Structures are given as C-alpha cells and as structure tokens.
Structure 1
Amino acid sequence: MRRHFMEMDPDLARSLFEEGATLVLLEVPEGTEFGIDYNTWQVGPRFRGIKMIPPGIHFLHYSSHSIHGSGEETGPRTGIFLCLKPRDILLARWSKTEEELKFCDSEAEEEIERIRSSLQDLDRFLGPYPYDTLRKWVSLTDRVTEDTVRKLQPLNNKICSFAEVVPELAMRHTKDRLEQNLTPYDTECHSMQEGLARLPKMKQKEGTELRFSEIPKQTYPVGATPSQITQCSMDLSYALQVLLDRYYKQDPQQILGELQFAFVCFLIGNVYDSFEHWKRLLNLMCRSEDAMQKHSTLYTSLITVLYHQLGEIPPDFFVDIVSKENFLTVTLQEFFLFATNPAVDNNLRKRATKFKAHLTKKFKWNFEADPEDCAPVIVELPEGCDGE
C-alpha cells in the first residue's frame, strides 16, 4: 500500500490526510482478504485499517481466511457500501465466531473520539487509500447516492456473495417433517431425487436480501386491447414508466444509480443475482422505444454508464453457454435501432451512433444482423378476451 502514498502529489496527500475519512478495523486476522472499492489485499500482522479515503460512496469487502491440514481456504465475500464524509472515522472489530466485521454504533462515540485524538500514533498501522484507482471507481459509481445505498442495501447492511437461507418452516421434530411429506433423515436414501426430497424448502433470511426495484411482470395496462398488448410486448415503455413512477418519480435519472449499484455488487461483491437484475433492468430500458423520446437525457446518460461498465468485462463474458448468443449484443442491437430513429433527440442519436461504432471496433460485435426479437411476438390475451 505504501507505494501509492509515495507517488501521490504532496498537496493532494496533505489534503486527503486532513480531510479524508479513516476506517479503523481492529483484530482482523492475518491472511484475511480485505478490500475497498477496486482494491484487494491480504491482511498482514500490523494492519489496523485504511486512511486518507476520499469522501463519498465506497464499497468495503472482505473474505475470511483459514488454514486446514489439506491447505488454505477463503470464505465467501461479504461487502458493505459506506457513505463517508470528510474526516469521518468508522470503527469496526472482527468477530471470531461469525467471521465478519462488526461496526460500532453511535454508543461508541466516546471510543471513536479517543481514536481521533490519537490518530497520529495509529497512523503507521493504517494503509493509505490507493488514489490511482479512484477515477475508475468514480466512473462506475457516480450515479450512486447515499439515498441509493439506503434504499437498495439489505436491512442488515451486509451484501453476501452467497445468500443466507433458512428453512421456510422450522420442522425441529420428525413429526413436523412427516406432516410436510418429507422423508425422515434416518431413512436410507436410494437416489439423488430422494435425497433432495428430504431437504426442507428454503428461503432467504429476512433482512439479508438486496432491495432492488421490482420490474413489472405485466408489460401492458389493465384493459388493454390485443393490439395494445402486442405493442407493449414489443416496446416496453409502459412497463418502464410503471417502474419509474413507482420508484423514481421525482428523478428518473436515479434508476442509473440502481444500475450501477447492481453492477458493482456483481463485479466486486460477486453477487450473481445482482448481475441478473442488471440484465433485466438493462433489457427493460433498451427495449423501450417511446421512452427514449420522452427521457432522452436519461438515455444519453445511460450510454455513459454503459461505456464505463463494459470496459471492465471481457467481451465474451455475456455469451450464453447453451445458445452461444451474446445477451448484450442482442439487447444493444434493439437499443441502437430505437435510438437512431429520426424522432429521437439529435444529441442522443449522435451519442448512440458513436457508442455503437466504439463497441463494434473494440469488441468486434455485430449489430447489423436482424435481431431475433423482430420476429412475430406471441402474447397471451387477458382472461375473457376473445381476440376480436
């Protein structure tokens, strides 16, 4: 970590030392994988935290480390978004039993003030924030606000790469399992299917789930005619507007903060469900033709967000293993088709054309083939509708 401090401009280093935030992390076991934003290290024996952190949104993440007779083992990654202000000091201690960081609450204010007064003595145990990666981090999170974090982060503030699950029903006794038609544990198992049948149904532990916006399942308004249903299935603007009205009515641009939040949770937090939400949200936005005319500024900003996100992922990452179809090229193909419509704002049209050329040159993606989604769309009519 020291090399970043030595290479930093002296005036900037002084400013960050005086105004930057500090994370004091006590009793973190040696060997723990620890990181902030785009940086990851293995904790050494003298580690006590990070100093000179620029104020703003940051993502702290860590994985426990253990050594067994057969070798070393690294646990699942746990992360938390932090909203740091100038000269903030956050204090956390490592819990050996739960193998995680426990942040001190407001009752620890007296201890935090003691740390603040003796910060110079603690300085040699603190690693400086690696400023050379800050620009990249900001480009991935410039739309994420404190409000975004408060709305989307789990209630327990922990973002885990593997979901914490609990049985839907307690079933502490054999009779409880029999009532649910589950095979008792002590019965011989003859097949994998039989083994799976013995397992209770699980659900994600309450308070641990990411609280993403719910993407509407119905893409058309109540009482829509068959032709309207077909139109709303091809152009998802109605469904997008429902989502914006429900979650981002005051400022539709804030949906880009959710898009960035989901991307970071996947890219750095290793949460696959976040990637799935990112794909669904992006698909909704890219297939909304009328919305591009109504929210041209939003879509111009979307291009900037995608430009930075796609720069972080290998070009073949989005290829489906089964179909060999690149999800992103199919999705963006529709976006470029709609965004270059003469009815769209001129600035958006120009930006979309440049972005398309950039992706074609960098990734060798082909956006010219007819998208499969242009084929006739088969939709289910509302109950009671005869199609006439």
Structure 2
Amino acid sequence: MASSSSGSVDMDPDVALRLFEEGATLVLLGVPQGTELGIDCKSWQVGPRFRGVKMIPPGLHFLHYCSSGYGGQIGPKTGLFLSLKPREIILANWDAKEEDLDFSASKNEEELSRVRASLRELDPYLGPYPYEVMRKWVSLTDRISEEMAKNLQPLSGRVCAFSDVIPELQFTHTKDRAEQPRNDTACQSMKEGLDRLPKMKQREGTELRFSVIPKKTYPPGATPAEITKCSMDLSYALETVLEKNHMQEALNVLGELQFAFVCFLFGNVYEGFEHWKCLLALLCRSEESILKRKDLYLGLIAVLYHQLGEIPPDFFVDIVSQNNFLTSTLQDFFQFAIGPGVDATLRKRAEKFKAHLTKKFRWDFDSDLDDCEPVVVELPEGVTVD
C-alpha cells in the first residue's frame, strides 16, 4: 500500500522482532484498489497487492477507511475500534454491495486456522503497522479502555462520518402518504420549505452513545440566585454527569473526551467534535469541582496538551464572529485553576500549561473579553469633534 503521509521512522530491530512475534495481524481481503484505509493516526491508499496490516502492537486501535466506489470519488469515512490481543488474527472480507468490511469470517475457526497456516505466503502483501505514530496514538487514547470504547461506540460497531438517517414517520401505505400535506405549491418562505421536509431521525443503533449533558445546569426547584450561580459555575451539571455516567471513576470522563476527539480527528465525525466542545466547556467552567478534584484536572491538562498539538491554532476560530471557542473556554479554566484555594500542584501545572499555549499559539488568556474601556479612534486629518 502506498502511504499518504511522509516521514517514516526506522524501527529498532529489537522492537521489530518483538512486534513480529507478538503483534496482531489484520487480514483484509478484497479491499478495492484506491480505497483510503488507515489505522490510528496514519492512512494509505490501497494498492493492488494489499492484503492487510501486520505487526500491530496489542491494545486499542482505530481502523478507518473510505470506499473508492463513488464514481471514482472517495466516499464517507467509516471506522471501528478494535482491541487486539498478542498474536491475534482478525479476518475481514470486503463486501462490495455494502462497500464495507465484513468481519464475520473472524468467528469462523476453520477460516482463521487456514489464514494462520498461510501467513508466511501472505506476509509480502501485509503492510507493517506505522510504528512511528504509536507514541502519538497512545498519548491521544491512554484513558480509553476496551470496555469504554465498546460502550461509547454505536451498537452497530461502526463510527460513520455521515449519520444514517430515516424519516421519523414511516408511510408504508399509499393512503398514509396521500393524507400528508401536498407540496406542489410554491413555498412562501424558507421556514415553510423546511417545515415541508420530512422529519428525520438517526437510524437506531448507529448513534454514538456519549454521556448526555443536561440542558439545565441547576437542580430542580432552584431559586433565582441558585440558577444564576449554577449558570456561572457549572459544577452541579458536571457532578450530575459524573454521577450518572462515571460513578465508579470520575477520571473516566477524560477517556470520553479522548474518544470524542479521536472520532472527530480520525473518523471525521462532526458529532464527536461537538461533544468534545460541550464536555470541555463543562469541565473548564466548574469552579467548585476544580477546587475539589485535583487529579481530574491534572489529567485534563495532560489530555489537552496532546490533543491541542494535533490541530492548527486557527481551527477553533468562528469565521463569522472571529471568536475563538477554545481561548474563551480555557480563559475561564485558568481563572479558576490559578485562583485562591486551588491545590498548589494543580495551580503550578495550570500556570505552565497557560504559558505553553500562549507561547505556542499566541493565544491571549489575560485580555478582558468584556472590556468596556473607551477605544481611541484616530480621526482623518482636518476632522474635529466638538
């Protein structure tokens, strides 16, 4: 397979030998030439000799691919998380009709035994795992357990860039369709046009199963003063999410943050990016939680350090308003984390992280976003104001 990324790194002979002996193998048969296929942080365009990937370090991996069967164009990306054991062989065949990989052969012991016996012949057609990205991959996923990946990914087992949607109302009979409003008259407005379109929903089993972030950030029966407080300090909402979804271990929310980021970065899933933003805003704007959950926020800084190294600094800027979501969110975090009453270790780590981001991205975390001071305007020569 031809790599779409440059800069490969020579592997240490001892590491190569260990991966050859202990590494897992993905045997992927029938993948059409030209398909874009990748594992973890790297992707390739499949050539005519491709039969899979070998020497894969045991652990969690993300296999992703785009079919080339769309009139010569690359189709939407599909991905799946795989937890691989030492020397494990996973076998999949390309399903031309579905334009997807079919892993049912991996459950057939007879077929697996046949593939295992012919590995020596297959070896020249198997591309080695891109070991140079291993360190980066681990740094982006070190808090995602096998169980967590299984619980967060869709029941279908596929993470898809485009949602699989169906109409909310299924009209199985001609009579049902005939009773719907007719659409043969011109729309008087954009709203009317949108209202005429059938209401759609995501096909059951294809949705990512993220934690639900409450729309109301305050407890039931809250007073106006409590509502105001919980709108400025989101600790109540955060603790609700932790209690409902991560009761055994609060730090697991960092694994969910990583999962959402990986789905977006390598799976092209916009829903992953939106959830990452919402979860990050919840964590960064929870002052009381920052005061009492030192380990969670030390972990958050480490997770963000690696994530922010993977995306261009202007990515978060809203083109319309020129506001940077990330600088405003992290500005609140640094205000809380460097404030009084915060654990000394966390405060020091937050200060170092703030300095790192300021130097690397030239983001200004100290300007007042609500600055109302008068602005000095230079008037053209000869123009005066009475």
Q: TM-score, normalised by structure 1?
A: 0.90
Q: Which amino acid aligns with 1:30?
A: Q
| Residue 353 of structure 2 is aligned to residue 350 of structure 1 | no
Q: In the alignment, is the contact (CA less than 8 A) between 2:264 and 2:272 conserved in 1?
A: yes
Question: How do residues 123-134 of structure 1 correspond to structure 2 at under 5 angstroms?
Answer: 123-134=123-134
**Cα distance in 1, alignment partners of residues 9 and 273 from structure 2:** 37
**Cα distance in 2, alignment partners of residues 372 and 143 from structure 1:** 36
Runs of 4 or more, structure 1, over 4 Å off, are: 1-6, 188-198
Q: In the alignment, is the contact (CA less than 8 A) between 1:329 and 1:365 conserved in 2?
A: yes
1:363 to partner: Cα distance: 0.6
1:6 to partner: Cα distance: 8.8
| Residue 49 of structure 2 is aligned to residue 46 of structure 1 | yes
| Residue 327 of structure 2 is aligned to residue 329 of structure 1 | yes
- Equivalent pairs: percent with the same residue? 64
Would the alpha carbon gap of residues 246 and 56 (structure 1) be closer, same or farther in structure 2, given more than 3 Å must change? same
Deviations 1:261-313 (A, max 9, x none): 00011111001111010000000000000101111111001001000000111
Q: In the alignment, is the contact (CA less than 8 A) between 2:37 and 2:65 conserved in 1?
A: yes
Deviations 1:25-66 (A, max 9, x none): 011111111110111111111110000000111110000113
Q: In the alignment, is the contact (CA less than 8 A) between 2:159 and 2:267 conserved in 1?
A: yes
1:106 to partner: Cα distance: 5.8
> Larger deviation: 225-234 or 255-264?
225-234
Gaps of 5+ in 2: 373-386
Would the alpha carbon gap of residues 98 and 182 (structure 1) be closer, same or farther in structure 2, given more than 3 Å must change? farther
| Residue 96 of structure 2 is aligned to residue 96 of structure 1 | yes
Match of 1:29 in 2: 32
**Cα distance in 2, alignment partners of residues 86 and 64 from structure 1:** 29
Deviations 1:351-371 (A, max 9, x none): 000000000011110101224
| Residue 67 of structure 2 is aligned to residue 64 of structure 1 | yes
Q: Which amino acid aligns with 1:222?
A: P
| Residue 357 of structure 2 is aligned to residue 359 of structure 1 | yes
Match of 1:142 in 2: 142
Q: In the alignment, is the contact (CA less than 8 A) between 2:161 and 2:269 conserved in 1?
A: yes
| Residue 233 of structure 2 is aligned to residue 199 of structure 1 | no
Q: 1:17 aligns with which of 1, 13, 20?
A: 20
> Larger deviation: 122-131 or 102-111?
102-111
**Cα distance in 2, alignment partners of residues 38 and 295 from structure 1:** 31
The SS at the match of 2:154 is coil
1:174 to partner: Cα distance: 4.5
Q: In the alignment, is the contact (CA less than 8 A) between 1:182 and 1:197 conserved in 2?
A: no
Match of 2:212 in 1: 214
**Cα distance in 2, alignment partners of residues 196 and 232 from structure 1:** 36
**Cα distance in 2, alignment partners of residues 43 and 283 from structure 1:** 39
Match of 1:281 in 2: 279
The SS at the match of 1:171 is coil
Q: In the alignment, is the contact (CA less than 8 A) between 1:215 and 1:243 conserved in 2?
A: yes
**Cα distance in 1, alignment partners of residues 245 and 194 from structure 2:** 39
**Cα distance in 2, alignment partners of residues 146 and 239 from structure 1:** 27
1:102 to partner: Cα distance: 1.0
Q: In the alignment, is the contact (CA less than 8 A) between 2:105 and 2:112 conserved in 1?
A: no
The SS at the match of 2:247 is coil
Match of 1:121 in 2: 121
Q: Which amino acid aligns with 2:181?
A: N
Match of 2:256 in 1: 258
**Cα distance in 2, alignment partners of residues 246 and 13 from structure 1:** 44
Q: Which amino acid aligns with 1:160?
A: C
| Residue 308 of structure 2 is aligned to residue 317 of structure 1 | no
Q: Which amino acid aligns with 1:171?
A: F
Q: Which amino acid aligns with 1:83?
A: S
Q: In the alignment, is the contact (CA less than 8 A) between 1:30 and 1:45 conserved in 2?
A: yes
Gaps of 5+ in 1: 375-388
Q: What RMSD in Å do the two structures reach over aligned CA positions?
A: 2.1
Count of residue pairs brought into register by the alignment:
368
Q: In the alignment, is the contact (CA less than 8 A) between 2:105 and 2:111 conserved in 1?
A: no
Q: Which amino acid aligns with 2:265?
A: L
**Cα distance in 1, alignment partners of residues 364 and 187 from structure 2:** 50
Would the alpha carbon gap of residues 364 and 16 (structure 1) be closer, same or farther in structure 2, given more than 3 Å must change? same
